[in-house]
Structure formats: structure tokens, C-alpha cells
Amino acid sequence: MSHTTREKQQLLARVRRIRGQVDAIERALDTEAGCEKVMHLLASTRAAMSGLMCEVIEGHVRTHLVDEERYPGALNHDGAEELLAVVRTYLK
Amino acid sequence: MSHTTREKQQLLARVRRIRGQVDAIERALDTEAGCEKVMHLLASTRAAMSGLMCEVIEGHVRTHLVDEERYPGALNHDGAEELLAVVRTYLK
Amino acid sequence: MSHTTREKQQLLARVRRIRGQVDAIERALDTEAGCEKVMHLLASTRAAMSGLMCEVIEGHVRTHLVDEERYPGALNHDGAEELLAVVRTYLK
Amino acid sequence: MSHTTREKQQLLARVRRIRGQVDAIERALDTEAGCEKVMHLLASTRAAMSGLMCEVIEGHVRTHLVDEERYPGALNHDGAEELLAVVRTYLK
């Protein structure tokens, strides 16, 4: 999945932050915080999950659509970036 | 936030399931599962979060837009249900 | 649907702009413009439609959830604004 | 943009249906149809636009990420299908 050790650490850090946000939602529900607070926490957690999804999709597009060892240079980078720009717009 | 003890327990159960899903994403990243698996886990976790958001919004609309003690019967239930139907469509 | 003549004119102006955007998509497809151009036009048209939906939902929440003539002051305006803030976030 | 004449005709047919839906929204606003009707028309038009976006993205992924004449066989079809499955889930 992750393509380098550094990328793996970044993805793990992101998912751990998301777990912290989910814990905050649980606390808000448990302590009967207002709807407004719960809705804000849910919205920001969802944004963080979309951000993680974008990062995973980017890695997938850049690494798994073409086997760079067998077909060096075959991936059209401009075309891949256009695709990712659209995906980012829709995942917001 | 939750309007009855039973509702509170249901919301807490939902958020705990979501945390379980986030843990599964972390394990998938940590054990270097394939992109496909990670993307599926992310998509289903996001759907679960949207479901929780819908439930919170429903409670908010039914309970907090009109103070039923002061203004009994003032909330137009058909109008509220139309609104919630649209919100559910967009949160999918 | 629209609650004043002015609101009606604004909504009609919005939907006519959207039709102009849809016409631009048709022309782009017909003249075989690049994918990138078509994807951008689609993304901006979708954003315009989300904006129109937000406006319609706002009118609905402010006008149709409580019959203000029968129950003056019954709508909790803070609660309605919180709801609309969340809806706007999700419709982006 | 479209990669064959047949594909082009299909895309044009889709965008023309969407224009018909936008016209129906305009008529609903102009004749002061109920909010519910307008919200339904908006939701189904948005779904049709997402469908068109999916089709455009699919063509882009299958045709423009790799120049098949220069690098025949270089596109990993399984990887491309996994990506498109995720995109479809998020565009609904």
C-alpha cells in the first residue's frame, strides 16, 4: 500500500489523528454536548477522512497504474495530475 | 444532544463501530495491505460517518428547531421530512 | 416555492446560469475539447447546482418548517442556522 | 475528449438529457411549484451530472493515462478498475 517507509508513517499519523477525532465525537455524545458541537466534530472528521482518501488515491494513481520498472515513462503525468485535481474537488 | 437515553446509547454504539473501522484502516496501513483494501475500508468508514451525521441531523431537526413545550404542534412534520429526505440523498 | 418575487427572480437567474454552463459542456463535447476542459466545466456546473440547492434548502428551512402566521416566533433561528451551516459544508 | 464517435454520441445524449432536467427546474421555479418538487429535481439532475462525470473520468483513465500506441499493455487494468470503483462510490 504505502510505497516508502516515509509515506507509510505519514498515512499512519493521519489515521491516528482521525481516531483521536472519533474519540472526541464519542466524548461529546457521552457528555451530552450540544448538537452543534457534535455536527462540527463530525464534519471535520469527515474532511480528515477525505484527505486521507485523497492521499491513498494519489499513491495508487502514481504507483499502481503503471509498473514503472517494466514500462518506464509510460504514465502520462499530466493526465494523472488532471485526474487527481478532479478527484480532490469531488472529495472535499 | 441525544434526546433520550435510548437514542444516546444508539449514537454511542454507532461511533464505537466507526472507531473499530478506523482501527481496521490503521491495521491495513501498518501491515501494508493493498491499496484496494485500504480504499474499501475508507469508503465504508465514510459511509458509516455519513449515517451517523444523518442521525444527528434528524434529531436536531425533530427536537431543536421548535421548542415543543412552548409551541406544541408548530413544527411542520411533512416539511421536516422533505428536508431530511434531501439531506439523506446528499450525505450518501 | 420562492417566497417573494425578488427571491424567485434570483433563483431563476441562478438556474439560467446553470443552463448556460450545461450548454458549454455540450459545446466542449461536440467540438472534442480535451478531457481536462470537460472535467473542469462539469465540476463548476456541479458546484453551481449545489449552490442553488443550498439556496432552496435555506428558503425551505426558514419558511416551511414553521407556519409563522399561526406560530409566530416558534422557529429557533439559532438551531436553523446551525443546521444550514452543516448542510452547506456537506453540499460543497 | 470522446474516444470514438459512438462514445461522443452517448456523452452528447447524456448532456442533452441534463439540459432537459435543468429546463424542468426552471419551469418548476417559474410556476412556483413546491420546494419538495424543486429539491427532487435538483437531486436527480445532480445525480445525472455525477453519472456524466464518472463516464468522462472513465474515458480519461482508460485512454489518457497511458499512450497505448507507444506503451502497449502498460496500463494496469485491475488497478484502473479499482480506482474507478472508488471514484464511482464517491461521486454518487
Chain A residue with the nearest C-alpha to that of B44 = A49
Whether the CB-CB separation of B58 and B24 falls below 8 Å is answered with no
Whether the CB-CB separation of D18 and D45 falls below 8 Å is answered with yes
DSSP strands (E only) in chain B: none
Whether the CB-CB separation of D1 and D38 falls below 8 Å is answered with no
Chain A residue with the nearest C-alpha to that of C37 = A82
User: Residues in chain B, how many?
Assistant: 92
In this predicted structure, the answer to whether residue D66 has a pLDDT above a threshold of 90 is yes
- Phi and psi (nearest 5°) for D65? -85, -25
Q: Which of C39, C82, C92 is nearest residue A36 as measured by Cβ atoms? A: C82
Whether B34 sits inside 8 A of A8 (CB atoms) is no
Give me the pLDDT at residue C5, please. Answer: 83
Give me the pLDDT at residue A5, please. Answer: 83
CATH code of the domain in which B41 resides: 1.20.58.1000
In this predicted structure, the answer to whether residue A7 has a pLDDT above a threshold of 80 is yes
Give me the pLDDT at residue C65, please. Answer: 95
Average pLDDT over residues B44-68: 94
CA dist., res. B45 & res. B58, Å (int):
20
Owning domain of residue B73: 5-91
- Give the model's confidence band at B6: pLDDT under 50 very low, under 70 low, under 90 confident, else very high: confident
Long-range (24+ apart) CB contacts under 8 A made by C3-7 are: C3/C59, C3/C62, C3/C63, C7/C59
Whether the CB-CB separation of D21 and D48 falls below 8 Å is answered with yes
Calculate how close chain C gets to B78, using CA atoms only, in Å. Answer: 8
Calculate how close chain A gets to B78, using CA atoms only, in Å. Answer: 22
Give me the pLDDT at residue A91, please. Answer: 85
Q: Put residue B72 in one of left, alpha, beta given phi > 0 → left and psi -120 to 50 → alpha.
A: beta
Interface mutation target, options C60, C71, C84, chain B, most CBs of B under 10 Å:
C71
Number of domains, chain C: 1
Whether the CB-CB separation of A52 and B35 falls below 8 Å is answered with no
Burial of A58 (0-12, 13-18, 19+ CB in 10 A): middle
| Beta-carbon pairs below 8 A across chains A and B | 96
- Give the model's confidence band at B4: pLDDT under 50 very low, under 70 low, under 90 confident, else very high: confident
- ipTM field: 0.89
Q: Which residue ranges of chain C lie beneath pLDDT 70?
A: 1-3
